[in-house]
Amino acid sequence: MLHAAVIGFPSTGKSTLFQLMTSVDASRGKGDVIIGISKVPDERLDRLTAMYNPKKRVPATVEFTDVIAPARTGASALVDVAGYKNADALVHVVRAFRDEAVPHPAGSVNPARDAQAMEDELILADLGISERRLERLAKDLKKGKSTELERERELVERCKDSLESGQPLRALQLSSEDRKLLRGFQFLSAKPLLLVINVDETDIGDIGTSVDAIAARTGLTSFLARASTRAVALCAKIELEISQLEPSDAAAFLADLGLHESGLDRVIRSTYDLLGYMSFFTVGEDECRAWSISRGTPAQLAAGEIHSDIQRGFIRAEVVAYDALTTRGSMAACRDHGEVRLEGKEYVVQDADIINFRFAT
């Protein structure tokens, strides 16, 4: 399952956002690591479910972790929190709202300052990891030459140089082999970053059009130009009000605000996209399900997401495009029009493909 860690300084709305996305109560004792699951909103799965009326509807999911006020703050505290280290991506909630009843710990609201301050914490945490690893590598290399260790030292030194210059590791151009070698270090600044800009109610109009205007107003434009960094804007106060409404009333409220969907849905979907994932579907009277795979995944590996036996005994994939199925109205009609294809194990699955795997056990 995809895993993202929600991070942020105090009084940003971080835990409120986590609770709204996962329906898990985040009001626990300090130091708790709280895990919740969010369903990825997908109108395509909704439509397929309406077509087949299955017994089960199973959306793709993202696991979010919230860490409640560690006893220590700063880079060392970040390194010690497994919920951060094990995450595939980081979701940083940045405060852009003003509320005298909730004073900002730094004395003023400055989203660009806070985004950079958190980035600096991640960089410092990673710098400590790289320095300790280089010390260990130096001792190991004194015992004897090793091509593998030499390569690792060169790569970690490259990372250290980047960190010392104030650059996060997600900005480094790394080969797939390099990324595999660094995976065990669980560098925080190497993880894709989603900024969630928690704005005032007066900024709701901009949320419905583009996040660019809000980024410019909050000084975050240059920050968002960095590699593997994206942003979503929402108003947690409004999201809380929406969560307390019936679905029909919530939809009407969103429409009145000029919004197509809730901010929570945008955060969940953006996290899913940021990680480079997409969904293919399996459909039928028993179940309609979205399966999460990385973009570029071949059919045989995609089959393994359903069951290892299907991957191992893979014969062919029966594939039909989502648009074709929803236009024709049934798989039989798609067959009649030659729109159901038989694909081999090297076929690269496309977003929203509907697939039935043929396999032998």
What are the two backbone dihedrals, phi and then psi, of residue 234, each rounded to the nearest 5 degrees? -155, 170
Do 97 and 38 share a structural domain? yes
Of 132, 167, 185, which closes a domain?
185
Helix runs in the chain, H state only:
14-22, 43-52, 75-80, 82-85, 111-142, 147-164, 176-182, 204-207, 211-217, 221-224, 236-243, 247-256, 263-274, 299-306, 308-312, 322-328, 331-336
pLDDT in tens, the chain (361 residues): 789 999 999 899 998 899 889 988 766 545 578 889 999 999 999 999 999 999 999 999 999 988 765 544 454 445 455 668 889 999 999 999 998 889 898 899 999 999 999 999 999 999 999 999 999 999 999 888 788 899 999 999 999 999 999 999 999 998 989 988 998 898 999 999 999 999 988 887 777 567 888 899 899 999 999 999 999 999 988 888 888 889 889 889 888 888 888 888 989 999 999 988 999 999 999 999 999 999 999 999 999 999 999 999 999 999 999 999 999 999 999 999 999 999 999 999 999 999 999 999 8
Domain count, the chain: 3
Do 310 and 242 share a structural domain? no
d(CA 317, CA 338): 15
Do 129 and 258 share a structural domain? no
Residue 51 within a domain = no
Do 140 and 101 share a structural domain? no
Q: What is the CATH number of the domain that holds 270?
A: 3.40.50.300
Do 86 and 233 share a structural domain? yes
Of 137, 160, 185, which closes a domain?
185
Residue 80 within a domain = yes
Do 102 and 11 share a structural domain? yes
Q: What is the CATH number of the domain that holds 175?
A: 1.10.150.300
Confidence (pLDDT) at 30: 53
Residue 355 lies in domain: 296-359
What are the tokens at 138?
A: 């130096």
Do 352 and 306 share a structural domain? yes
Do 270 and 343 share a structural domain? no
Do 199 and 305 share a structural domain? no
Do 303 and 269 share a structural domain? no
Whether the model pTM is above 0.85: yes
Of 168, 185, 202, which closes a domain?
185
Do 222 and 101 share a structural domain? yes
Residue 284 within a domain = no
